[in-house]
Amino acid sequence: MMNRTIVLETERLELARWNEGDRALAFALWGDHEVAKWISGKGFLSEDEVEARLTQQIQRQKEAGVQYWPLFEKESEVFVGCCGLRPYSTEEDIYELEFHLTRDHWGKGYAQEAARAVIGYAFDKMNVKALFAGHHPDNEVSRHILIKLGFEYTGDERYEPTGKMHPSYVLRK
């Protein structure tokens, strides 16, 4: 893959690192209203907000050694979304797992496949104690994926970007 730092691989996917040249990929994902409605209270992200998200991911990799790594199909090198971690509770050594897929890659099992690799990385390589995850209250697909991955429902938490109470889950090592 051209000029990409590969972080993890699965059977069908490569998880790489975001870089400054990835604006078009960031817009293809977070600029899509069907994707953004699950992560933004107003149902979309502006150009500036997508730009800020990309910058935040690059910065997080530098500072914390993790980000929501971009996903690419191994065969075609097509961008399919992102999956990764961010520090959630530093005093308890808990990270948050997230995945966002481009609309044309929904329903192919990529979120679960990438999440399994990221979970393995978090527990085996980073030695984190637990992972947190949440989802938009109307997103049944994400709920189903988290349950299949072994996450346990812990209650609802207010998620500032949407202003809604999001179901929350924990997976312990």
Which CATH number is 39's domain given?
3.40.630.30
Q: What is the pTM of this model?
A: 0.94
What percentage of the chain reaches a pLDDT higher than 90?
87
pLDDT in tens, 99-109: 999 999 999 99
- Nearest CA to 44 out of 54, 57, 32 is that of 32
Is 55 contained in some domain? yes
Residue at 31 is within a domain: yes
Q: Which residue has the higher pLDDT, 112 or 163?
A: 112
For residue 19, give the nearest of 35, 9, 5, 7 by alpha carbon.
5
Q: How many domains does the chain have?
A: 1
Residue 157, in any domain of the structure: yes
What does residue 69 show for φ and ψ, rounded to 5 degrees? -65, 135
In a domain, 3, yes or no: no
Q: What is the pLDDT of residues 115-171, one digit of tens each?
A: 999 999 999 999 999 999 999 999 999 999 999 999 999 999 998 888 899 999 999
Short-list 69, 53, 58, CA closest to 122:
69
Measured N-to-C along each axis, helices 140-148 and 110-120 cross at an angle, to the nearest 10 degrees, of 40
Asked whether residue 37 is assigned to any structural domain, the reply reads yes
Residue 1 in any domain: the answer is no
For residue 2, pLDDT beyond 70 = no
Q: What is the pLDDT of residue 1?
A: 52
- Determine contact, residues 133/103, Cβ cutoff 8 Å: no
Residue 95 domain-assigned (yes or no): yes
Please tell me the predicted confidence (pLDDT) of residue 49: 94
Q: Is residue 156 part of a domain?
A: yes
Tell me how far apart the alpha carbons of residues 14 and 79 are, in angstroms, rounded to a whole number.
10
Q: Determine the structural domain holding residue 53 and report its residue range.
A: 8-172
